[in-house]
Amino acid sequence: MSPCRTVETHEEGDTLVVCVGGYLNNLLGEEVEKVVRAKLDDGVRRILINFQGTRMVNSIGISFVIGIVENVMEREGRMAFCALSRINCDLFRVTGLAKYVRSFETEKEALDYLAGNA
């Protein structure tokens, strides 16, 4: 992924994979939330956010991630994260996100979990 802010999506089975690239702040957070909300409105209930291209998440970015988690939970969906950097993994643990959403090293591991194969 390029260092600029990007949101790319693809579907693996019935799971939406959202690949986030760049610094997750208010601008990128809003874009990710918009993409996920639209897919939830379309009936998707399994969401994987791949943070491989994300070096840092700021406080506003984390608030958008929390909002996405709440939205998925309200719709009785399942969610996972993958490819978190060490600092972002620590941030998600400190903010409590790790209590609600499992993180995996690879996209494949996360997809297996969401499909019920792990």
Instruction: Give residue 4's pLDDT.
Output: 54
What is the set of domains in the chain, with CATH numbers? Answer: 6-104 (3.30.750.24)
H-helix or E-strand spanning residue 16: strand 15-21
Residue 105 has pLDDT above 80, yes or no: yes
Nearest alpha carbon to residue 89 among 77, 101, 78? 101
Write the pLDDT tens digit of every residue in 17-46: 999 999 999 999 999 999 999 999 999 999
Instruction: Give residue 118's pLDDT.
Output: 60
Instruction: Give residue 11's pLDDT.
Output: 96
Under the banding of pLDDT at 50, 70 and 90, the label for residue 73 is very high
Instruction: Give residue 2's pLDDT.
Output: 41
Alpha-carbon distances of 16 from 1, 13, 47, 78, rounded to whole Å: 18, 8, 5, 11
Taking residues 95-108, report their average pLDDT.
Answer: 96
- Return all residues near 35 (Cβ < 8 A) that are at least 6 apart: 7, 9, 18
Q: What's the mean per-residue pLDDT of the chain?
A: 93
Instruction: Give residue 64's pLDDT.
Output: 96
Ramachandran region, residue 62 (left: φ > 0; alpha: ψ -120 to 50; beta: rest): alpha
Taking residues 59-75, report their average pLDDT.
Answer: 96
Cβ atoms of 23 and 5 within 8 Å: the answer is yes
Write the pLDDT tens digit of every residue in 75-100: 999 999 999 999 999 999 999 999 99
C-alpha–C-alpha distance, residues 46 and 38, integer Å? 13
